[in-house]
Chains A and B, each alone.
Chain A
Amino acid sequence: MISESLRENYGEELVRIGEKDRDVVVLDADLSSSTKTGLFGQKFPDRFFNMGISEQSMVSTSAGLALGGKKVFVSTFAVFLTRTYEQIRQSVCYNNINVKFVVTHAGITVGEDGATHQIVEDVGIMSGLPNMKVIVPVDSVETRAVIRFLHEELKTPSYTRLTREKFPVLNDPGYEFKLGRSVTMRDGSDLTIIANGAMVAFSLKAAEELKNKGIDTRVINMSSIKPIDREAIVKAARETGKIVTAEEHSIYNGLGSRVAEVTSEYCPVPVRRIGMRDTFGKSGGAWELFDYFHLGVHDIAKISEDVFRGGDIA
């Protein structure tokens, strides 16, 4: 399976929509060579605004551009955007305007840069904001589809979470993103793993391990966290009776929490959440960190088997 960079595909897609639409503008805070918005900046210097290391001003400026009729993409590392929570809240979400935050370097796949840069709380922070939509693309194909969707269809605030590392390409080139709709990557009847981002490929591998033990596992890519695909979650709960969630994020306020909210309200079944357990990250190789934090393929398989057999190991 080939892996591709989400952020490079983001940068290239930005250039593509920038060519078609003169109202597309992009802001960055001195990280454009890493977030890949620099590709847009080179092509359209008059519509690209490097705000320097001034994230608060970047976000309120993005609000002004949107109020002035522009379609605004804003990028920096995920961890640095969160310092502007209040600008996002008041200037963007309360005004309910066309600002698209597309952040990179989220989660532990930042790797060697370590805990200061590995944000695992951002999905929770952003999901709590009224009017905000939250999306975690699974691969390069979905990233491009999301960017096209944000440009063509969404006129209100959104938060799209990308990563530093390349991820395996799981979707076919013709894939189309629909907000609030999940994709069943593999069907199964004994158990469902609902995952997003890096954890989808791991979950598919875990499902193979489980198959060898006679456990038929459904795997769902829940890239749209807000709104979430309630129908697919309830269907999985009814049809498979047990759910495991897997995310490169804290188990608090992320995918696992959202899934548990849905099941507890509409179809209570056992739900086990796999994610960062109230902890900061650590310097290390991006992929070895998954094992270190018990988020690897074998961890997913082991926990899923335990849930399937009715175990109660935390």
Chain B
Amino acid sequence: MAHSLSDEELYNLARKARRHIIEMVHSARSGHPGGSLSIIDILIVLYFRELNVSPSNPDDPHRDRLILSKGHASPGLYAALALKGFIPEDSLKGFRKLASKLEGHVHYGIPGVEASTGSLGQGLGIGVGLALASRLDSLDNHIFVILGDGEIEEGSVWESLMAGHKFRLGNLIAILDRNGVQLDGFTEDIMPMMDIRSKVESFGWNVLEIDGHSVEEITAAIESAKRQRDIPTFIIARTVKGKGVSYMENNPKYHGSPPESEEMYQKALSEIGDA
């Protein structure tokens, strides 16, 4: 896909998406802002620059597929899908509410969503299966899976890393949201992962490391991963949990809590700024 939007325009879209994320969890009085804010720049680059997907032809068999394995970051995905035109921006108000399709965790059945996720450690396996199906059908699309760094404490992720290598899935690209924070605290205190890069490399994957908030670096890494046709690629995106809202940044509390007052809510929106 051509780079029709400038980096500046993408940063602006990310700002819009951040506002949506805060509005959604505020309106729902619940949800997961921290890990949504940490991946939003990646999601915006994917949807507006790298993914071959179209709201007017959502079932195109040749489309790229994105699985958000860390399904609690649903506000981030829903915001990106709304900005892209898969769902009305107005519908985001329904997040987590009974009358809405916008389930608390990512829900298959929402236009643009490729699989339900929420319970962790399942998305990479789904990605392996989609990549195998694409190969059987001789498609030249790509399968993207976004993982959380707390999530990779699940053993099933490592099972799927083995499978990705075994089947030499060059059409599979995993992106790790390396924000260092999980629900109960900092990842290295809860369960030290140590050198993720060398672990994943030893599983036979092509590993790249980038700043997950730099549109330029995200783009370059994905372009490079797409050129790698022999083995799957694992992009470690260094991110800040809660990025863009000072009191949420690096604060485990905002893994799964909305702003606790109207004042905090307004503060979050003003820090993000107008888009």
Number of A residues, CB within 8 Å of B = 29
CB distance from B148 to the nearest CB of A (A): 16
| Bound form: Cα–Cα A64–B61 in Å | 14
A130 contacts partner chain B, Cβ-Cβ < 8 Å: no
Assess whether B125 is in contact with A60, with CB atoms less than 8 Å apart. yes
Residues of A contacting B: mostly? helix
Interface presence of A261 (CB below 8 A): no
Whether A64 and B128, one on each chain, are in contact in the complex, defined by CB atoms closer than 8 angstroms, is: yes
The residue in chain A whose Cβ has the minimal distance to the Cβ of B167 is A49
- Residue interface mask A40-59, B partner, CB < 8 A = 1: 00000011010110101111
**Is A49 a contact of B132 with CB atoms below 8 Å?**
yes
Q: Which B residues lie within 8 Å of A68 (CB)? A: 129-130, 132-134, 137
Q: Is the CB of A65 within 8 A of B115?
A: no
Q: Whole-angstrom distance from the CB of B41 to the nearest CB of chain A?
A: 26
| Proximity bits, A65-100, B CB within 8 Å = 1, else 0 | 111111000000000000000110111001100000
B167→A64 contact, CB < 8 A: no
A-B contact count (CB 8 A): 110
Does B27 sit at the interface, judged by CB under 8 A?
no
Q: Restricting to A103-134, which residues have a CB under 8 Å from any CB of B?
A: none
Answer yes or no: B159 CB below 8 A from chain A CBs. yes
B153 at the interface (CB under 8 A from A): no
Cα A301 to Cα B156 in complex, Å, equals: 47
Q: Which of B135-171 contact A (CB under 8 A)?
A: 136-137, 143, 155-156, 159-160, 162-163, 166-167
Q: B131 at interface (Cβ–Cβ under 8 A)?
A: yes
Q: Does B136 lie within 8 Å of A64, measured CB to CB? A: no
- Report A144-191 residues with CB < 8 Å from chain B CB: none
The answer to the question of A297 belonging to the interface, with a C-beta cut-off of 8 Å to chain B, is no
Q: CB < 8 Å: which of A47, A54, A87 contacts B163? A: A54
A250 at the interface (CB under 8 A from B): no
Known A59-B125, A90-B122, A91-B126; contact A52-B162, beta-carbon cutoff 8 A: yes
B114 at the interface (CB under 8 A from A): yes
- Could you tell me if B108 and A95 are in contact, using CB atoms closer than 8 angstroms? yes
A65 to B125, CA, bound (A): 10
Q: A57-B156, A64-B130, A67-B115 are in contact. Are A91 and B125 (CB under 8 A)?
A: yes
B130 cross-chain contacts in A, Cβ below 8 A? 64-65, 67-68
Contact status B108-A57, CB under 8 Å: no
Residues of B near any A CB (own CB < 8 A): 61, 65, 108, 114-119, 121-134, 136-137, 143, 155-156, 159-160, 162-163, 166-167
Q: Can you give 8 contacting A-B residue pairs, CB < 8 Å?
A: A56-B121, A56-B155, A57-B128, A57-B162, A60-B124, A60-B125, A68-B134, A94-B116
A141 to chain B, nearest CB (A): 32
Would you call A61 an interface residue if the criterion is a C-beta within 8 Å of the partner chain's C-beta atoms?
Answer: yes
> Which residues of chain B have C-beta atoms less than 8 A from A14's C-beta?
none
Q: Which residues of chain A are near B166, meaning CB under 8 Å?
A: 52
Contact status B163-A51, CB under 8 Å: yes
CA of A49 to CA of B119 in the docked complex: distance in angstroms? Answer: 24
Q: Is the CB of B118 within 8 A of A60?
A: no
Kindly state whether residue A63 has any CB partner on chain B within 8 Å: yes
Closest residue of chain A to B133 (Cβ to Cβ) is: A68
* Cα distance A95–B106 in the bound complex, in angstroms: 11
User: Which A residues are in CB contact (< 8 Å) with B133?
Assistant: 25, 64-65, 67-70
Q: Are B159 and A57 in touch, CB under 8 angstroms?
A: yes
3 cross-chain pairs, A with B, having the tightest CB-CB distances, nearest first: A64-B129, A68-B133, A60-B125
**CB within 8 A of B116: which of A61, A64, A86, A90?**
A90
* A54 and B159 form a contact (CB under 8 A): yes
Residue contact B128 to A61, C-beta cutoff 8 Å: yes
Query: Are A64 and B131 in contact, with the CB atoms below 8 A?
Result: yes
Other A-B pairs, 4, CB within 8 Å; known A56-B125, A56-B156, A63-B115: A47-B136, A63-B125, A64-B125, A86-B122
Is B155 a contact partner of A67 (Cβ separation < 8 A)? Answer: no
Q: How far is the CA of A70 from the CA of B130 in the complex (A)?
A: 9
Chain A residues with Cβ under 8 A from B116's Cβ? 90-91, 94-95
Across-interface contacts of B137 in A (CB, < 8 A): 68-69
B129 (CB) vs chain A CBs: closest residue:
A64
